[in-house]
Amino acid sequence: MPAPNIRDEGRDYRWQIGLGVGLVRFRSSIYYATAVGLNSSVSYFITDSLAIEGAVTSAFAPAVFASFEHVKYVGYGAGPKFTFGRDRLQPWVHALVGGAHILPQTALGSQNGFEVLVGGGVDYAIHPSWALRLEADYVRTQLFGQSQNNGQAAFGIVYRF
Tens of pLDDT along the chain (161 residues)?
555 444 444 347 899 999 999 999 998 887 888 999 999 999 999 988 899 999 999 999 988 766 667 889 999 999 999 998 778 899 999 999 999 999 876 666 668 999 999 999 999 999 989 999 999 999 999 988 889 999 999 999 999 99
Rounded to two decimals, what is the model's pTM?
A: 0.86
Closest CA to 76 of 42, 103, 38, 115: 115
Domain boundaries of the chain, sorted by first residue: 13-160
End-to-end CA distance of the chain: 17
Q: Which fold has domain 13-160?
A: Porin (2.40.160)
Q: How far is residue 152's CA from residue 130's CA, in Å, rounded to a whole number? A: 23
Q: How far is residue 29's CA from residue 2's CA, in Å, rounded to a whole number? A: 51
Q: How far is residue 58's CA from residue 23's CA, in Å, rounded to a whole number? A: 9
